[in-house]
Amino acid sequence: MAVLPADKKLPKRGRPAKMRENLLGGKSLAVIKMTNKQVRNPLALHKRKRVTTASLYDNEGVKSAVLKRAEEVQANLVPEFPSMIKCMLPSHVSGGFWLGLNKQFCNEHMPKQDTMIVLEDESGINYQTKYLVEKVGLSGGWRGFSIAHKLLEGDVLVFQLVKPTKFKVYIVKANGLEEVDGALGLLKLDACKKQMSHENLSTATEEIEYGSEDFGFDVLDGIRLSESAVDFNQVKSFKDFDILINGLVINPELSKHLQSKYYDLCCSQRSFLHEQLLGGLNCKLAAGVIAETINIADAIRASKLTTPPESFVTWQKTLKAFQTLGMNIHFLLDRLDQLKSLAAKSKRHKEAILERVNAEEEMRTLEKRLLEIKEITSRLDIEIQQLEGNAENYELKFQELTKAPW
């Protein structure tokens, strides 16, 4: 048996307790560039990623799909603004609700003192959070954001620093892979307009052959070439309803629930709403546009007079972008205009009532003051009348008094 020199010690097995705590504690998995230390110690990096990832996902397929979608969202962001990806751990979405951020990212881009950071979600709603420099993370306010968006362990968030104290946040749900990610679809709209060509059709055909992980499961297996275009009048029931894009039936890109909702929308207009979509549009983007159209239609149905005006504006901008791509959704825009008008009139009605109440209150105050003034006037009239009879004698008596002997 070989004997080690006296000055050589056997390497200890396992990691030190402190390192184990760091691995299993509140540290989150972030998709960032490797630091020099990580490059020098690739084995430690591999073990760290393996342990953390294993604690997040049930299988490698889910992990790959969620991270892939998050990376695709990040890739479609405007490169002028720095961004990072965070995978949600239990400490982020329950218990203490603490969100640690990447130290290198914060050193390069974040403020150098404690400050309030705004988190803007995909709907344009802002949330105030407290950024702590020494702890490199978000505390106060993060709990509200997490609960409001029902974040769960394994969800992935893309943070884009659009202002020195403001993040735009895109959420990729780990348990929502059966539906199209609306955020990703919206991000691709501008890029799509610049890349419309028949090459996209060949790309879509290749996706049919090789499959894709963008939706977290094999949704492309059922896509097929259509034998011929179908007029909507030939659709007699949901079973006959096919969504045709560039000669491809893309029904599997959407869940049955979304297909049914879209069928109802098309029936309401007696036409395929996507029939005039720009030629060569990628099938995934087309599915994203359709899915987001359904979401907005549902949101319009669920809206109330108390719905924030900003929501109506966001829906309108999105639908107009879809209309530019060729979606026949004028009826949704018309409905939004009507709802906005009614909401504005209702708001003005409430404001007018409040103004009237204030005016009436001011009138009562003035009337009360007027009565007080009238009482003062009446009292003075009586006093003047009593003194007026002797007014001429006052001067004579005054002069006599001044000249009277001492």
Q: Render 55-119 in DSSP notation, one character per residue.
A: TT-SSHHHHHHHHHHHHHHHHTS-TTS-EEEEEPPHHHHSTT--EE--HHHHHHHS-SS-EEEEE
The residue among 296, 320, 343 that closes a domain is 343
What sign does the dihedral 350-351-354-360 (CA atoms) show? negative
State residue 134 phi and psi, 5-degree precision.
-65, -35
Predicted local distance difference test score (pLDDT) of residue 159: 93
Do residues 168 and 200 both lie within one domain?
no
- Type of residue at 247: G
Do residues 132 and 53 both lie within one domain?
yes
Do residues 256 and 304 both lie within one domain?
yes
| CA 62 – CA 60 distance, rounded (Å) | 6
Do residues 162 and 310 both lie within one domain?
no
Query: What's the domain count of the chain?
Result: 2
Is 177 part of a structural domain of the chain?
A: no
pLDDT interval class at 178 (50, 70, 90): very low
Do residues 316 and 247 both lie within one domain?
yes
Predicted local distance difference test score (pLDDT) of residue 60: 55
Secondary element (H or E) of residue 234: none
Q: Which two tokens stand for residue 342?
A: 């009614």
Do residues 84 and 118 both lie within one domain?
yes
| CA 230 – CA 266 distance, rounded (Å) | 14
User: How does pLDDT run across 58-90, given as a tens digit for each residue?
Assistant: 455 556 678 888 888 888 888 888 999 998 888
Is 357 part of a structural domain of the chain?
A: no
Is 390 part of a structural domain of the chain?
A: no
Is 195 part of a structural domain of the chain?
A: yes
**Percent of the residues in the chain that have a pLDDT greater than 90, as a whole number:** 31
Q: Which residue has the higher pLDDT, 41 or 254?
A: 254
Q: Which residue has the higher pLDDT, 282 or 348?
A: 348
What secondary structure does DSSP assign to 365-401, as a single string? HHHHHHHHHHHHHHHHHHHHHHHHTTHHHHHHHHHHH
| CA 301 – CA 295 distance, rounded (Å) | 10
- C-alpha distance from residue 153 to each of 57, 91, 98, 159, 371 (Å): 9, 9, 13, 17, 70
Do residues 187 and 329 both lie within one domain?
yes
Q: Which two tokens stand for residue 28?
A: 């989150």
Is 6 part of a structural domain of the chain?
A: no
Burial of 69 per CB tally in 10 Å (0-12, 13-18, 19+): buried
Structural domain boundaries enclosing 166: 24-172
Residue 39: give its domain's CATH number.
2.40.330.10
Mean pLDDT, range 141-170, rounded to an integer: 89
Is 29 part of a structural domain of the chain?
A: yes
Q: Which residue has the higher pLDDT, 41 or 320?
A: 320
Is 276 part of a structural domain of the chain?
A: yes
Q: pTM, whole model, 2 decimals?
A: 0.40
